[in-house]
């Protein structure tokens, strides 16, 4: 074990991430063995479709958790974005491009709302999340008059946005997702914003006493999350057709699961985009696999819940040991 | 001389103000819509309030410790589905199904308590997970189908009479009497028994409570067990009022219960709260929920408004604290 | 007075790097009020914590009521009858007075807690002590003084035989202090043994029978209060041989301009009408005992805490400082006394911590210029002789002294002209201490102006050009290094201006 840890390549990538990659591959193999029809490209593409929007959600919530906060309104806000922009598209006849921008705008607005309350008013993040979650569901229902919204099919002349997800069998979405993930990693690791966001998650007062306006940067984390949620909505509707109001909660947990599994600490200050990406793939594959094995969505919920508990507990134990 | 201390009297003020808000809302909707003024509306408001009141009574305890229980909403659906399945598909007597519902609630409450108190997981995260888990479990118990608990008139439907009885032509909401009784009982528990006292102590200053020799781990866990127990009772109340219980529902119920509790005076940071306040706060939420359609607003506006009201209530709490420091 | 109830013999206790108690002996008699005095860090609190089981002693014995005892936690000590009334009260603010006093051992009538009986018993307790407090009042509504009395009542309700008061009068008004003394006198008549830790000479004179002085972890001596003078006590508190010579004269040019002027600063109880000046190239020592208000003053100047009134002038111009951001822009830097909580960002590296106060200077385009960051961090690692394998080392892995150097580097990177060092060498070994002293002198020579808050007398005398002394939120004295003597400073630090 120690020898593996000392291996230079392992050290560069990070031991945790190597373990996660192994888990991912192992899972895939196990699923293939358990269910022969799991093998092959269609399943992988299906899992990828799930991974895109979940991935953007996860990337977004990584920024928030890095500040030591939490946002579990991301699922419902994503749905709100998808529904509101979709309604604009189908009922108000707006062009697809504008709708996509509206989608991001809705996410952005919620991000500003959440961030402002947490950073400037010190409202506990879980209360803001709870309220936002329901406001998002309410807004979506009211806006679409509780109807579901169906985005145009790929074949139609408005369906070009689906090319963002895939063209034929080429997973375009994967490239876009990885590209955005790389941008997020650069923001988090190489920019002033990222430096402040991580630092304030670690030790807010020390950063404030260094002369930094911590409120601004804490709010920014939630704003970035909001934008990514808006983008997630685009990839959700790009992969699937109909969006129904009143849903979205399940994805909260899955997004957080991907994030925490990847090494981001709930206590703040420590975050890994690469870990989040691998974590998301694992969760997406898991959901796909559970369904493939004939189990229902219910098992997805239960298993994801258990995974998050285990991952966060592992984080709690690791932190206690460090102290 | 007024010997009553400031905090408590301000707190009683808040309850009083919220009660006024409840009355004001009722009057407002009555004026705006003649249909609102009917007896059937009052019945309806009460019917749909029982399960939220029960959740609110229970969740007040974790909230006072400075934590939260987000699993009560999907939890009650799960417990209802489990009990209902046994009644409808396995032929169990109704009382047995009810018992299972409540016990299931207690079990999940115990799980929450262990996660938060023994494993030191953040309460919102632990209960968010159990929220998901109970959602899945509930659906599994009912094999994905909605479960109708025995409808009025059929065998085994006596449990509906706990909440509403029909005498001749009129229906009487006796459930409300049970609610008042429970509020009195749980208010007593909170203020005059060790469990309640130590719950407040933990929320006030966990360190000091530990140093005083209180078994903090036990009492912290109990707060969540109580919350789970009442979620179980809420399951029964819900089943008694709704025709069918659908798996996958329940998300958002906790907002109404927690929102009601916070409006009624529970502090998000712990240490302060009352059961009667939670009751009154829940009525604000219920009135909004029922009344908004009468003034032409779609029911979903209630979600938006409840969310905003919750934020408002917490901001008031925060501003109060800021003023107190000065 | 007479019979000994408690003897602590040859108590020895060490922490990593610090010999906190060096064969200390201490004895308390029944019916006496025995003062325990000494500077910050003398070991008074440590000794009491060893007594009440919060710390375990390395060696020595404790004999209580004729039997050797060892308390493993506060609860055990409490059950045996040895109780501390702490400086920081451990109370449950949301519960009432009576509920606090009887927490954990409530009277019950079946399942119901008998609050009525608890209120009655609490009232009886208060009557016995002649305290006028309503047992049904919510704890957080009481003044700090009254809260303390509740804590005392709680201690006595445990059937205490020895009560230790740790700086009891620090938060009390005049009237409340008188009430406290009445209570202590009553307790004395009831034959309790009382330990009274305080730095207030006047009170010691009034209420105590004997005075024991500690210094640098050792027992210096015990005097009978009515037979000794304030100077006797002060001599015992400071009478050490200072191995490093105090600064002989101020290094500041007589015509040096005033870089920082603080006028009538008010920030709560701990900063009352504080005014002083800092000149260019000067090291201004801020002396005083714990709780004097020096840190609070520094934080108020730095904008870390809100202030009620006061003017601040930097280089002659009035400035508005409402946040650390404002202060830093004026060229003021602040090294807080709690390094781990307020100084370093634990998850970040030496390099990243070094630029935390001036990050905008290291941004090229959109990204942080990590090479420039590492270069400047390395520059200061070299010039400050910070011991670290590399600038990419996580700062939490460095030793205390080196962490401090990283924090200093942070402000040097920002090129602040005014630096406030709050306990700069606390928890740092001797070697690193000297390096930091050398550094501060170099900075002063280069024209930077330094305020140095320190509780170490030797440090104050060695480094300061001028010394400001504070006591309980007020500035009680100011003296140039040439005239300064330990006794004078201690005198000012224990003087209260009413």
* Cβ <8 Å between C90 and B188: no
Interface test with chain B among C86, C88, C102, C103, by most B beta carbons within 10 Å: C103
pLDDT recorded at residue B1: 35
Name the band, by pLDDT with cuts 50, 70 and 90, for residue A1.
Answer: low
Name the band, by pLDDT with cuts 50, 70 and 90, for residue B232.
Answer: very high
Name the band, by pLDDT with cuts 50, 70 and 90, for residue B7.
Answer: low
> Is the per-residue pLDDT at B218 higher than 50?
yes
Closest CB to B197: pick one of C90, C93, C99: C99
Closest residue in chain A to residue C414, using alpha carbons only: A210
Does C446 reside within a domain? yes
Interval B34-54 mean pLDDT: 89
- Statement to judge: residues C223 and C269 lie in one domain: no
Contact C293, A177 (CB under 8 A): no
Closest residue in chain A to residue C371, using alpha carbons only: A190
Closest CB to A301: pick one of B133, B255, B314: B133
pLDDT recorded at residue B6: 52
At C429, is the secondary structure helix, strand, or coil?
coil
Contact A86, A151 (CB under 8 A): yes
Contacts A144 to B, Cβ<8 Å: none
Does C498 reside within a domain? no
Interval C368-373 mean pLDDT: 93
What is the spatial distance between Cα C47 and Cα C12, in angstroms, rounded to a whole number? 9
> Is the per-residue pLDDT at B2 higher than 50?
no
- Statement to judge: residues C191 and C135 lie in one domain: yes
pLDDT recorded at residue C294: 93
> Is the per-residue pLDDT at B304 higher than 80?
yes
Does C375 reside within a domain? yes
> Chains with ≥3 Cβ pairs under 8 A against A?
B, C
pLDDT recorded at residue C240: 66
* Cβ <8 Å between A130 and B307: yes
Contacts A209 to C, Cβ<8 Å: 302, 304, 324, 334, 336, 342-343
Report which listed range, B75-79, B160-164, B167-171, is most confident. Answer: B75-79
> Residue B303 is inside which H or E element, if any?
helix B301-325
> Is the per-residue pLDDT at A141 higher than 70?
yes
- Mind listing the domains of chain A with CATH numbers? 19-314 (1.10.3470)
Name C11's bridge partners: C24
* Cβ <8 Å between C94 and B194: no
- pTM for this model (two decimals): 0.87
Does C251 reside within a domain? no
Torsion sign, CA atoms C140, B123, A106, A204: positive
Contacts A205 to C, Cβ<8 Å: 341-342
- Statement to judge: residues C208 and C357 lie in one domain: no
Task: Please give the distance of CA C48 from its chain centroid, rounded to a whole number.
Answer: 16
* Percent over 70 (pLDDT), chain A: 97
Name the band, by pLDDT with cuts 50, 70 and 90, for residue C1.
Answer: low
Name the band, by pLDDT with cuts 50, 70 and 90, for residue C402.
Answer: confident
Name the band, by pLDDT with cuts 50, 70 and 90, for residue B3.
Answer: very low
* Cβ <8 Å between B140 and A128: no
> Is the per-residue pLDDT at C363 higher than 50?
yes
What is the spatial distance between Cα C164 and Cα C209, in angstroms, rounded to a whole number? 15
* Cβ <8 Å between B318 and A305: no
Name C333's bridge partners: C419
Over residues A217-273, the pLDDT tens digits come to 999 999 999 999 999 999 999 888 888 887 788 899 899 999 998 889 988 889 999
Closest CB to A202: pick one of C343, C347, C363: C347
- Rounded to the nearest integer, the mean pLDDT of chain B is 89
What is the spatial distance between Cα C197 and Cα C192, in angstroms, rounded to a whole number? 16
The shortest C-alpha distance from A8 to chain B (Å) reads: 34
Whole-number CA gyration radius for chain B: 20
Interval A276-292 mean pLDDT: 92
CATH number of the domain enclosing C317: 3.40.50.300
Total number of domains in chain C: 2
* Cβ <8 Å between C325 and A209: no
Over residues C28-67, the pLDDT tens digits come to 999 999 999 987 778 888 898 899 888 888 999 999 998 9
pLDDT recorded at residue B8: 56
Closest CB to B200: pick one of C94, C111, C112: C94
pLDDT recorded at residue C498: 44
Closest CB to B307: pick one of A135, A252, A298: A135
> Is the per-residue pLDDT at C208 higher than 80?
yes
Does C250 reside within a domain? no
Closest CB to C138: pick one of B7, B192, B197: B7
Over residues C451-467, the pLDDT tens digits come to 999 988 888 989 999 99
Contact B303, A135 (CB under 8 A): yes
Contacts C135 to B, Cβ<8 Å: none
Q: Which candidate, C27, C78, C437, C466, places its Cα nearest to that of C280?
A: C466
Look at phi and psi of residue C281 and say left if phi exceeds 0, alpha if psi is from -120 to 50, else beta: left
> Is the per-residue pLDDT at A53 higher than 80?
yes
Task: Please give the distance of CA C318 from its chain centroid, rounded to a whole number.
Answer: 31
* Cβ <8 Å between B311 and A117: yes
* Cβ <8 Å between C352 and A195: yes
Q: Which candidate, B71, B43, B64, places its Cα nearest to that of B230?
A: B71
- Statement to judge: residues C233 and C264 lie in one domain: no
Tokens read off for C494: 């224990």
The shortest C-alpha distance from A207 to chain C (Å) reads: 7
Domain enclosing residue C143, as ranges: 4-238
> Is the per-residue pLDDT at C365 higher than 50?
yes
* Cβ <8 Å between B214 and C95: no
- Statement to judge: residues C149 and C277 lie in one domain: no
- Statement to judge: residues C224 and C265 lie in one domain: no
Residue with more model confidence, B139 or C39: B139
Among A119-128, B131-140, B248-257, the minimum mean pLDDT is found in: B248-257
Does C69 reside within a domain? yes
pLDDT recorded at residue B11: 56
Interval C387-399 mean pLDDT: 88
- Statement to judge: residues C272 and C312 lie in one domain: yes
- Statement to judge: residues C55 and C93 lie in one domain: yes
* Cβ <8 Å between A205 and C342: yes
- Statement to judge: residues C312 and C395 lie in one domain: yes
* Cβ <8 Å between B251 and A117: no
- Statement to judge: residues C227 and C363 lie in one domain: no
pLDDT recorded at residue B5: 47
pLDDT recorded at residue B176: 92
Report which listed range, B62-66, C103-107, C172-176, is most confident. Answer: B62-66
What is the spatial distance between Cα B315 and Cα C51, in angstroms, rounded to a whole number? 46
Over residues C148-205, the pLDDT tens digits come to 888 888 888 888 899 999 888 777 777 778 888 988 998 899 899 999 998 788 888 8
The shortest C-alpha distance from B270 to chain C (Å) reads: 9
> Residue C265 is inside which H or E element, if any?
strand C258-266
The total of other beta-carbon atoms located within 10 Å of residue A153's CB is 10
Closest CB to C141: pick one of B7, B192, B213: B7
Question: Dihedral, CA atoms, C43, C46, C47, C49, nearest 10 degrees?
Answer: 160
What is the spatial distance between Cα B10 and Cα A198, in angstroms, rounded to a whole number? 40
Does C245 reside within a domain? no
* Percent over 90 (pLDDT), chain A: 54
Tokens read off for B143: 């094999």
What is the spatial distance between Cα C182 and Cα C190, in angstroms, rounded to a whole number? 13
Closest residue in chain A to residue B131, using alpha carbons only: A305
Tokens read off for A146: 């509780």
> Chains with ≥3 Cβ pairs under 8 A against B?
A, C
Contacts C140 to B, Cβ<8 Å: 7
- Rounded to the nearest integer, the mean pLDDT of chain A is 90
Q: Is B8 on the interface with C (CB under 8 A)?
A: yes
User: Which residues between 405 and 434 in chain C have a beta carbon less than 8 angstroms from any beta carbon of chain A?
Assistant: 410, 414
The total of other beta-carbon atoms located within 10 Å of residue B67's CB is 26
Over residues C141-150, the pLDDT tens digits come to 888 778 888 8
> Is the per-residue pLDDT at A27 higher than 60?
yes
- Statement to judge: residues C317 and C396 lie in one domain: yes
Closest residue in chain C to residue B205, using alpha carbons only: C92
**Cα-Cα end-to-end distance for chain A:** 24
Contact A285, A24 (CB under 8 A): yes
pLDDT recorded at residue C491: 83
Q: Is C95 on the interface with B (CB under 8 A)?
A: yes
Name the band, by pLDDT with cuts 50, 70 and 90, for residue C255.
Answer: confident
- Among residues C206, C238, C270, the one where a domain terminates is C238
Interval B270-288 mean pLDDT: 91
- Statement to judge: residues C309 and C369 lie in one domain: yes
Closest CB to A146: pick one of B132, B300, B306: B300
Helix axes A74-91, A41-66, angle to 10 degrees: 120
């Amino acid at each position: 074990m120690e020898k593996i840890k000392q291996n230079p390549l392992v050290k560069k990538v990070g031991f945790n991430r190597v373990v996660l990659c192994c888990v991912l591959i192992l899972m895939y193999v196990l699923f293939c063995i358990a269910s022969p029809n799991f093998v092959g490209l269609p399943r992988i593409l299906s899992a990828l479709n799930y991974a895109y929007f979940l991935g953007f959600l996860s990337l977004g919530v990584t920024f928030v958790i890095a500040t030591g906060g939490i946002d579990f309104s991301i699922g419902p806000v994503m749905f709100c974005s998808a529904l509101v922009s979709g309604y604009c598209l189908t009922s108000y006849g707006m062009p697809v491009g504008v709708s996509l921008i509206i989608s991001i705008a809705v996410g952005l607005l919620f991000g500003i709302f959440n961030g402002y309350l947490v950073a400037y008013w010190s409202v506990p993040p879980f209360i803001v999340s709870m309220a936002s979650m329901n406001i998002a569901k309410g807004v979506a229902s009211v806006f679409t008059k509780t109807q579901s919204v169906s985005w145009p099919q790929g074949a139609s002349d408005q369906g070009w946005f689906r090319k963002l997800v895939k063209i034929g069998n080429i997973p375009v979405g994967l490239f876009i997702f990885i590209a955005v993930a790389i941008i997020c990693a650069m923001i988090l690791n190489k920019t002033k914003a990222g430096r402040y966001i991580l630092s304030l998650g670690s030790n807010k007062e020390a950063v404030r006493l260094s002369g930094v306006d911590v409120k601004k940067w804490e709010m920014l984390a939630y704003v970035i999350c909001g934008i990514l949620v808006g983008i997630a909505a685009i990839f959700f509707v790009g992969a699937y057709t109909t969006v129904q109001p009143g849903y979205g909660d399940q994805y909260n947990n899955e997004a957080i699961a991907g994030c925490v599994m990847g090494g981001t600490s709930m206590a703040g200050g420590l975050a890994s985009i690469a870990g989040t990406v691998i974590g998301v793939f694992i969760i997406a594959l898991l959901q796909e696999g559970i369904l493939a094995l004939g189990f229902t969505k219910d098992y997805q919920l239960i298993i994801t819940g258990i995974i998050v508990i285990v991952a966060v507990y592992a984080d709690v134990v690791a932190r206690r040991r460090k102290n | 001389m007024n010997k009553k201390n400031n905090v408590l009297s301000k707190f009683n003020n808040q309850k009083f103000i919220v009660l006024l808000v409840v009355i004001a809302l009722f009057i407002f909707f009555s004026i705006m819509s003649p249909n609102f003024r009917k007896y059937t509306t009052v019945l309806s408001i009460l019917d749909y309030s029982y399960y939220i009141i029960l959740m609110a009574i229970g969740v007040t305890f974790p909230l006072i410790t400075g934590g939260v229980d987000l699993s009560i909403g999907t939890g009650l659906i799960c417990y209802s589905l489990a009990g209902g399945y046994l009644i409808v598909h396995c032929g169990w007597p109704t009382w047995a199904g009810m018992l299972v519902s409540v016990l299931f609630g207690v079990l999940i409450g115990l799980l929450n308590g262990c996660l938060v108190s023994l494993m030191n997981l953040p309460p919102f995260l632990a209960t968010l997970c159990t929220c998901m888990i109970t959602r899945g479990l509930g659906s599994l118990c009912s094999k994905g189908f909605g479960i109708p608990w025995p409808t009025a008139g059929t065998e085994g439907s006596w449990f509906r009479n706990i909440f509403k009885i029909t005498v001749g032509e009129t229906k009487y909401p006796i459930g409300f009497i049970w609610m008042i009784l429970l509020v009195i009982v749980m208010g007593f528990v909170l203020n005059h028994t060790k469990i309640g006292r130590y719950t407040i102590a933990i929320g006030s200053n966990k360190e000091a409570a530990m140093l005083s020799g209180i078994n903090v781990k036990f009492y912290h866990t109990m707060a969540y067990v109580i919350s789970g127990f009442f979620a179980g009772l809420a399951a029964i109340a819900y089943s008694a009022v709704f025709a069918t219980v659908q798996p996958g529902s329940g998300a958002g119920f906790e907002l109404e219960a927690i929102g009601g509790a916070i409006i009624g005076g529970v502090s998000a940071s712990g240490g302060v709260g009352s059961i009667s306040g939670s009751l009154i706060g829940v009525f604000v939420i219920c009135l909004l929920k029922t009344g908004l359609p009468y003034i032409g607003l779609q029911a979903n506006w209630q979600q938006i408004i409840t969310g905003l009201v919750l934020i408002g209530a917490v901001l008031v709490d925060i501003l109060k604290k800021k003023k107190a420091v000065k | 007075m007479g019979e000994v109830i408690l003897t602590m013999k040859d108590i020895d206790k060490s922490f990593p790097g610090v010999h906190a108690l060096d064969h200390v002996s201490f004895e308390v008699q029944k019916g006496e009020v025995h003062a325990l005095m000494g500077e910050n860090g003398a070991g008074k609190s440590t000794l009491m914590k060893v007594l009440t089981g919060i710390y375990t002693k390395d060696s020595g014995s404790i004999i209580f009521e004729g039997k050797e005892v060892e308390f493993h936690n506060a609860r055990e000590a409490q059950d045996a009858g040895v109780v501390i009334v702490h400086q920081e009260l451990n109370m449950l603010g949301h519960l009432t007075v009576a509920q606090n006093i009887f927490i954990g051992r409530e009277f019950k009538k079946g399942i119901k807690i008998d609050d009525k009986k608890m209120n009655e018993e609490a009232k009886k307790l208060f009557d016995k002590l002649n305290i006028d407090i309503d047992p049904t009042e919510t704890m957080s509504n009481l003044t700090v003084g009254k809260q303390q009395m509740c804590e005392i009542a709680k201690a006595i309700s445990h059937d205490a035989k020895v009560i230790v008061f740790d700086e009891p009068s620090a938060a009390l008004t005049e009237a409340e202090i008188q009430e406290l003394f009445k209570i202590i006198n009553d307790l004395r008549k009831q034959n309790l043994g009382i330990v009274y830790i305080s730095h207030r000479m006047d009170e010691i004179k009034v209420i105590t029978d004997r005075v024991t002085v500690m210094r640098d972890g050792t027992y210096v001596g015990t005097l009978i209060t009515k037979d000794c003078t304030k100077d006797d006590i002060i001599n015992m508190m400071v009478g050490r041989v200072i191995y490093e010579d105090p600064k002989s004269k101020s290094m500041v040019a007589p015509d040096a301009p005033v870089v920082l002027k603080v006028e009538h600063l008010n920030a709560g109880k701990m900063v009352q009408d504080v005014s002083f000046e800092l000149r260019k190239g000067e090291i201004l020592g801020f002396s005083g005992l714990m709780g004097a208000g020096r840190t609070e003053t520094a934080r108020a100047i730095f904008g870390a805490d809100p202030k009620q009134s006061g003017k601040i002038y930097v280089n002659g111009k009035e400035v508005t400082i409402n946040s650390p951001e404002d202060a830093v822009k004026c060229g003021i830097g602040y090294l807080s006394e709690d390094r781990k909580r307020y100084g370093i960002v634990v998850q970040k590296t030496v390099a990243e911590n070094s630029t935390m106060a001036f990050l905008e200077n290291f941004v090229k385009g959109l990204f942080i210029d990590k090479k420039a960051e590492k270069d400047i961090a390395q520059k200061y690692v070299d010039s400050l002789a910070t011991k670290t394998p590399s600038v990419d080392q996580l700062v939490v892995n460095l030793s205390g002294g080196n962490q401090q150097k990283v924090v200093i580097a942070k402000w040097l990177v920002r090129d602040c002209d005014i630096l406030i060092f709050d306990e700069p060498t606390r928890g740092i070994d001797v070697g690193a201490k000297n390096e930091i002293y050398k550094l501060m002198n170099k900075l002063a020579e280069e024209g930077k102006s330094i305020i140095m808050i320190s509780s170490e007398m030797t440090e104050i005398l060695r480094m300061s050009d001028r010394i400001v002394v504070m006591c309980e939120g007020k500035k009680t004295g100011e003296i140039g290094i040439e005239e300064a003597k330990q006794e004078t400073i201690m005198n000012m630090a224990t003087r209260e201006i009413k």
